[in-house]
Structure 1
Amino acid sequence: MTTAPPDTEVGPLLREWRERRRISQLELALRADSSARHISFVETGRSRPSEDMVLRLAEALDVPVRERNALLVMAGYAPRYAQTPLDAPAMSALRESLDRLLTAYEPYPALVVDGVYGVVAANRGIALLLEGVAERLLVPPVNAMRLTLHPEGLAPRIVNLPEWRADLLAQMERQIALVRSPALRELYEEVAAYPVPERPADTDRTDVPEGPGGAGGSASADGRTGGERAAAFALPMRLEHGGRVLSFVSSIATFNTPMDVTVAELAIETFLPADRETAAYLHAHLPP
């Protein structure tokens, strides 16, 4: 492998990462088994860090894998981490594992997104919730943020849209603060500018049908379902579907210690029913 010539910008960039993490040069030195003096020299460009030192500092600062490659190149070294397309033969085992995971989670919704929220896989639980979404938003490449917040997407049917929208935008802001991604910044500016659809007053409360075992009740915009408060432990997404309100809480999982940029940026988002009525509805209505 050939290496790029050293770039004096690696020092300031490492300092920027350290300041983002809000740690001192001494603390970083302790984490990276170095000295505060050497860290200072690296940050000011007086000392060129070795390849091993760049990687140790990046690890100590929890720098994303893509950005670790950028640090190496700036320091005059070859990138360490590959970026293998997800459809490459080498990724077949990963794709099969993701498909099995998504299928096993049915009838509950689950999907896999990349670093800019592009949907790379989804299960039938997700498909169930997409009724009424504009066809143009479902043409690949599908974007989860655009699909959720666009006025022709899920947004008009999200009962608590202001709260859910604010949470999603805050999530994107945190990610933008961690990675230098023009594409992610562009997506954020696009979806943040979408108008917020107004909901008619008569959709504030809808009935949830009986499911298997006779589960039934009602759902309302204040989070009560079947006489109990749903998802008091987390902000739910309350979504109108077929004249009913379904309630979900979401969780996001990423890969531990990834060695590939593509894998490092994948996230698996699962939607857990926040009440028994939603669970029963999903079991009764999963598409074939």
Structure 2
Amino acid sequence: MKYLKKNWRKLGFFLPFFLLIIFFLFVPFFQMFAKSFSTGEGHPGLDWYIEIFSKTSYLVAIKNSVWIAVCATLLGTVIDFFLALALTHSSKQKKRWYLSLLNLTSTFAGLPLTLAFITLLGTAGVFVLIGKNAGISWLANYNLYSLKGMFLIFVYFQIPMGTLLLLPAFQEIRKEWKEAALLMNCSAFRFWRKIGLPIMMPSIMGTVNMLFANALIAYTTPYLLVNNGVPLLPIKITDMFVGDVRQRPELGSALSIVMLLIMLLVLACTNLVKKFFQKGRD
């Protein structure tokens, strides 16, 4: 109370931010949470959750979203790690140019990104036609409008964000540590396995969380490409709220809670990995 009395003016500057969080995050979340348990009979129940885990269409959508999010996150993290590593050893001019490119590509999404991939890898895309003329079967038969075909787009999502998130982590690796390891005849692989990766693991796991969430909730580009042709969790959720035929906000709220639980499960797994590396480091 004494702290509040002394700093009430300073805290007043944060009041709009607190109100924004309350009215735009907490209030909608609790309304959605309560709606997911409403049955229309005046008492709460698990009817919507039972329907989600008993119908094949919802299970396939969850499976597809988790599969593509996990694979895109793992591959994206590996690519981002080596890109950030290469960027830390680049000159200032090259680093400035590449950072500008990353910032540009990170905002290139939605309809422009969809049209770009359709132009390149669509049914009559540039690369597909080149593959047909050159006799490259896998490129000639590339199906952008499938789950595996969209995988390349999801990986594209991950590269700008992941690289920008991992860049500060490489600054924690001091040159003195590398020099000391070199003097002790420690190979580069062993240095990164014993020293570099354990130190960077909190940042890497934080990046994994961000990339997984980014891939799991991706909606615009998959919707523009396949609409409901490929069942995905974000598209199913949106259809429950703005569907042309029938709107089911209660079921959509339950699907949203399931998506949130998936994110929390991944967060718990990454925290376990982080603690494991921290124990090994200690």
TM-score by length of 1: 0.23
| Higher percent of residues as helix | 2
| Higher percent of residues as strand | 1
Q: Which has the higher contact order (CA 8 A, sep 6+)?
A: 2
